[in-house]
A and B are shown apart, each in its own frame.
Chain A
Amino acid sequence: GAVVSQHPSWVICKSGTSVKIECRSLDFQATTMFWYRQFPKQSLMLMATSNEGSKATYEQGVEKDKFLINHASLTLSTLTVTSAHPEDSSFYICSARAPPATGELFFGEGSRLTVL
């Protein structure tokens, strides 16, 4: 299957700092990538849809100024958690659809963020 890579896999930061997470499609081009958040023992919650060359589409209740998304190229999307607080600590996962539009979704390995 297609490969989606995330970096870093884990990060610890101080409250008030910003953290950037990268999501790359390694063997295919993705015009659309998705960012999810997962709390312990809970399901994935879609945060936003990242669109190459245009603004991201955020889900209701997700602060766009706090979670900045940039889809710089057809293989890279970044999520920046700005002015992080302890409540932002979570597991963040990105995904992308490999062409053609069969609908199959491939996920990155996830990034564990801990804000002290």
Chain B
Amino acid sequence: KQEVTQIPAALSVPEGENLVLNCSFTDSAIYNLQWFRQDPGKGLTSLLLIQSSQREQTSGRLNASLDKSSGRSTLYIAASQPGDSATYLCAVRRNPNNNDMRFGAGTRLTVKP
């Protein structure tokens, strides 16, 4: 059974700092991995999707990497801003015919002005 772990559970940084969020998964046989952002009491916003054949994806100040063999993904946020404060979730999907996505518990990020 796929287990997804996110470390740390919470992170607080001053504005302007670069930071890395970690996601690890136990079964390397994945179809893709997706990073989401969730604001308190809200749904999820898709940030980046990495297919299993890809090593990284970039969108603005965000960069996500994927190392399937080691079961790890990182989300790099450059020049953090208070508006980046939210919970960041990663989720892995096993195969295209399987709709089961396993989510990590998330990392709660606070960026202090």
Q: Mark A residues whose CB is within 8 Å of B.
A: 1, 4, 6, 32, 34, 41-44, 46, 49, 91, 93, 95, 101-110, 112
Contact = CB atoms under 8 A, between A and B. Distances in A.
Looking at B34, B43, B106, which has the most chain A CB atoms within 10 Å of its CB? B43
B44 A107 contact: yes
Interface of B: 4, 31-32, 34, 36, 41-46, 49, 51, 89, 91, 93, 96, 99-101, 103-106
A107 B41 contact: no
Contacts of B89: 43-44
- Majority SS of interface residues in chain A? strand
B32 A103 contact: yes
B106 A32 contact: no
Nearest to B33: A103
Given A103-B32, A103-B96, A110-B41, A42 B46 contact: no
A107 B106 contact: no
Nearest to B106: A43
A61 B92 CA distance: 21
B62 to A, nearest CB: 14
